[in-house]
Chains A and B, each alone.
Chain A
Amino acid sequence: MKVIDRSDFTALIEELIASDPREVVGVQESGEQYVFDRLESAEQLALEHDLTALSPKKYVMPQRETLLTYEQTDDDYEMRAEADPTGHIVVGVHPYDLAAINQLDKIFIDTLQDEPYRRKREHSVLIGVTMQDVADTCFAASMGTATIDSGYDLMVTDLGDRFAVDIGTFEGDQLLESVPTRNASAEEVERVAEIKADLEDAFDRELAFPPAALPTLLEASYDDMDFWEDYAEQCLSCGTCNVVCPTCFCFSVDMIRDLEGDSGRQERRWDGCLLEDFATVAQGENFREEVAQRHRHRFMRKGWYIYERYGDIACVGCGRCTRHCVAGVADPCEVYNELREGQHA
């Protein structure tokens, strides 16, 4: 573990903004919330944030992204797959968001080799930050994602006038070359460990049982329609919980035609299983017509289906869905705890 003075860390970010060809983005205040956005200056960084509106997923899987362009040439069409390599330097990523990106890496790169995702991800740098403030909707400690030991290039912990820096990758190590650092003292290493350990008690919300029990619990609860309908009664099917989730990756594919000429592009855009037409087929049959079915699908997918396929619980406990759900029915912690309670009643 290294230590870097706060002023040198600021200088490092300024240098990256000035000279790295990639866009440097970081957590900053925007109105009453925190967001990941382009940094003009290191001063904008708000590393003490509790939760950003959207996760940094948007930099590896943008809300809209071109998959294919086409252009008419003489009597023929030229169709070209696009795999935009634009990477970002992302500063201030909380451990649960790093865990979410690790899950996406496993699916998009290791398993299904999605080229547009891979190119963005491999050209990106993730600078994580140990949580200093905990959102009241967050239950990351229960999901094992309040702290993380890998999945970042650098991980910084605020020690007041200096940052402890854990180096995760060779590229992270190289980033530090231009600024003075020193090895952390035993005391500083211990202080970081204390900060991380203290985090465990900082959460208002917790899952009442180990997440490893979720797949079995959900499987057993699938047919409990009274439970799902009860929750779904208030659900507006707006899809906000899908959109703000760092582990949701469903998308739709749209054709965008240029106004002039026979050219255009095919884009994918974020989509959500809560939206009414998500599972509709060509002639109108909808395989998840009822709100309760869609509502149930979301929770099953998070706690069972993705686990079944990839071995991960697709919820990192960030609490964004809870914070942004206007109907107050999207909280996975509450839903899973109630299911568990019902099962043991």
Chain B
Amino acid sequence: MPFIPHTDEDIRAMLATAGVPDIETLFDEIPADLRTTDFDAVPPGLNEMEVSRLLQERAAQNRPTVCFAGGGAYQHHIPAAVWEITSRGEYYSAYTPYQAEASQGTLQVIYEYQSMMTALTGMEVSNASIYDGASALGEAVLMAVRLSRRGKSSCVLLPATVHPAYRQVVATLVGDQGISLQEISYDFGSGVVEPETLESIQKDFAALVIPQPNYFGCLEEVDTLTNWAHERGALVIGVVNPTSLALLKPPGEWGEAGADIVCGEGQPLGIPLASGGPYFGFMACKQAHVRQLPGRIVGRTVDLESKPGYTLTLQAREQHIRRSKATSNICTNQGLMVTAATLYMALLGPQGLAQVATACHANTMALVKRLTALPGVEQVFEKPFFHEAVLRFPVPASRVLSVLGQGGVLAGVKLEQAYPELNDTLLVCATELRNEEDIEFYVRELTAALAG
């Protein structure tokens, strides 16, 4: 098969069908002044040696930046063994391993991943991952509405403290499926959804989404919120940061009955920050809801000789068998990312993950304490936080970002675009990677910026 899309003969055939003699005539209606044939900005081709030299020069322009930005993507230490093993040829396959003949090794990795995710979230079942955290929440919303079919409500309560990008993705995914999303506002003093706010909600709803920690880093009152939703016959969808679960109560134990569906972004578990991807979404739920969980599930069984074997189960719900009745048609399994996450969790163990979480929290506490000691810098919300906090500055947030950026500090994430009331604020984050010296560096740079 030729890799050239169309041959001269193809082009002649297409032009004949369109009824024009040549390509120039085809483009006739485009005004001449809009067309350009002279691409000054595109340099001529280079050979390998020249390209190599050019890229080295460009790479040298990158300056190391100390990262204090989070907002859904976090810089953590990744043990070298994680990607050393993940990028072995056996795992580095080119395609989502959904086929029944997928190797036992791949299936076992996914099985281990599912087991660890259920342990971490306190839930009964986990799928083998999904595209990313935002789409996992979209799928969770769709799943909750399917489950509440008997309740006949297709409204889902979505607090403003959920990641703004996630809310946009969810709106896009479910907007044309007859599902309505009702935003729940947060309390401007505490930065969380105050349970009293919910009392004004009279109408039926299928589910309440609860972020923990929320986008501002604050800890929501998950037990109260969970019970409130369950008392009204609705489901609870938890959106959680996996690192935080090493310290916080797992969603399976929220309130009297626990969350029904749990999802989130798996990036903190061994996936590097790489200009926004690839990431993976995780989804877990109660056993009773497993039939509505999108994506793949690997099960463990024994063969006729009692040897353990792993197999894809519940495939009848998958799009290649069930087509229009599939639970989802975009449940892309991020196999390679999941392999890395499985290795990350296995290498750290529950204790290691708890150490990471504890260090993140302690470092962010230290950062906030040092920064708020500077004149005019204050913590916006009074609630406890995990490893992020919102700070207000006496100068515009974009100025803080640009001045500190020039000095080599990535100072945080600006909130103003999604939350106009939070102008002059930054969401700051310190993971286990930020030591005393880094925090000192931030303080020094900010002091200079405020003085200037």
Do A and B truly interact?
no
